[in-house]
Structure 1
């Protein structure tokens, strides 16, 4: 048997339950991972709350979490990239907050020895989203990038990737996060009323491209800053089309894990990319992890330590 955090109805964090489930068996192209750590993302509690499915009911209990790190325990047919005993991490699609989970072998990356399971579990979503957004913006060395919510997981990774590529980065964040952002090489500005004027002061030569990871109604002013909606991308504002801005949520645009981590892992090992782990939780405290994420004042990632 395995254990998993699941919920049978939409609602607050209290709907989460630690349940026993049958040990999942991998099908063609799949592997079963004995999970050692799983990442927490805001999308997890938004789905759990029913924000994307108003008025609907769940037909059956569902798991939570999409990123995991662990040890391959079993492989299905047609898998030749990983083997039992391999330490791996990646986006598993769903049900990551569990003792065991199935994943597509092609979505996994081998975990290097110098990276902990907790650190690895924090990476897949933030890293892939950042690479995808920067790819859409076609960022170039010498440009200035504005990142909204620069102290969130995606904001942190995207900012550091851009700096490594030779860009100047201005990032909106609360005052409490400014010192940390400066350590990374980001020019921090406080979000909220008047943020556009503060950005202009921080980037007197102008802003070339914008990544919105906040969803706080910043698109109209961001377009004004760049002069072109095609130079703005959001991962958090569902009203993007009203401003002619591209919304990217993955899907067919998802960047393969191998491509993402060919860039990310060397930067991590060299100390040129940092993604702090804000707090770790055991499976039994999943509701507390969701509450902390919903609070919105987290620097870096929340991670579940499974074993």
Structure 2
């Protein structure tokens, strides 16, 4: 089968198209014929060697965590899946260096495979994995909030989504609206404002703006219940201006920051503010499964989709141009980068 691999850390040029043997699924495993693979920042950061020891030798690695396709074979002791089932995958590449989705077939534990609902395409299955799982976690960590999402679960609550035109931001807007929240999104340009509104945000504000906190308070006089934050350090002061007492900041990024965050102790103390840092790799299997179930329900309802009409422009590449796909994501292209791996039928 065709597979993209890298054998050393580096730029997109280390990715190469090669031939690999198709593996058989073992006990509890499922083999999936990949139709669409997606690129996330975590993929090119892993490829570049972020957090790896300098000069470390690495096994031949297939990149990309997210993907969707069709069950091709099931191993012993697998219930609930059969060849022909349409599925999406939960951080596939975390299972091992050979399990990434930039290849025609991947073998994964059944727990990492989720049935794709009718009406949702392979693009949604691949493109909404990590962003939607991250957004789901962010929306379910508040002290006074729900631990699961469903229609009405966030009714009466106001959610501030920082970077509402980004992949996680877009998923957070769509999921929060599905769950009944009032959503305020912040963006940096008119183009991104249009994308955040297409995702469903009722209020979209531009930054930088020294009066941003005042403008948010004019929409939410009692303060926002929850902030989904991509730029933790830059927006730390803003949080204290707009959070309601016992409000929560769920942060997954420090864009434009230094990697070190300063918090005003007294203001946060009197707010009883909660800060939740989150990354999917250590969040726990129970949280991943809960998120996958709710995301699948939102897709089934038509509430979670890709495409410019939902605020997510799609950029497609063939498998042989995976290096270009990684470069596009790394260069900060707006929208979702997808790789066409195999036929849908």
- TM-score, scaled relative to structure 2: 0.79
Equivalent in 163, 183, 196 of residue 177 of structure 2: 163
Report deviation, 1:192. 3.4
Q: Is the 8 A contact 2:26 2:76 kept in 1?
A: yes
Output the CA distance in 1 between the equivalents of 2:215 and 2:37: 37
Secondary structure of the corresponding residue to residue 281 of structure 1: strand
Instruction: Give the Å deviation of 1:35.
Output: 0.8
**Residue number in structure 1 paired with 2:79:** 80
CA distance in 2: counterparts of 1:76 and 1:181, whole angstroms = 43
CA contact (8 A) 1:39 1:122 kept: yes
Query: Per-residue deviation at 1:141?
Result: 2.3
**1:93-242 counterparts in 2 under 5 A?**
93-94=92-93, 95-137=100-142, 138=145, 140-175=154-189, 176-186=191-201, 187-192=203-208, 194=210, 195-214=212-231, 217-226=234-243, 231-237=248-254, 239=259
Root mean square deviation of aligned Cα: 2.6
SS of residue matched to 2:204:
strand
- Give 1:145 shift: 1.2
Partners of 1:5 and 1:286 within 8 A in 2: yes
CA distance in 1, matches of 2:262, 2:233: 14
- Once the two structures are superposed, residues 114-151 of structure 1 have per-residue CA deviations (whole angstroms, 9 ceiling, x without a partner) of 22222221122122222111111226422221111211
Alignment match, 1:303: 338
Question: C-alpha separation between the residues in 2 aligned to 1:65 and 1:284?
Answer: 14
Q: Shift of the alpha carbon at 1:283?
A: 0.8
Partner Cα distance (1:201, 1:217) in 2? 21
Deviation at 1:249, TM superposition (A): 0.7
Aligned position for 1:65: 64
1:15 maps to which residue?
14
Q: Tell me if structure 1 keeps the 8 A contact 2:117–2:300.
A: no
Q: What TM-score, normalized to structure 1?
A: 0.88
SS of match in other structure, 1:231: strand
SS of 2:141's partner is helix
SS of structure 2 residue aligned to 1:38:
strand
Distance 1:200 1:294, change over 3 A: farther
Residues 119 and 302, structure 2, Cα contact 8 Å, conserved in 1: no
How many Å apart are 1:200 and its aligned residue?
Answer: 3.9
Q: Deviations over 1:85-133 (max 9, x none)?
A: 2221122521111111111112212223422222221122122222111
Alignment correspondent of 1:35: 34
Count how many residue pairs are aligned between Structure 1 and Structure 2: 305
1:260 equivalent to 2:276? Answer no
- Residue 272, structure 1, aligned to residue 294, structure 2: no
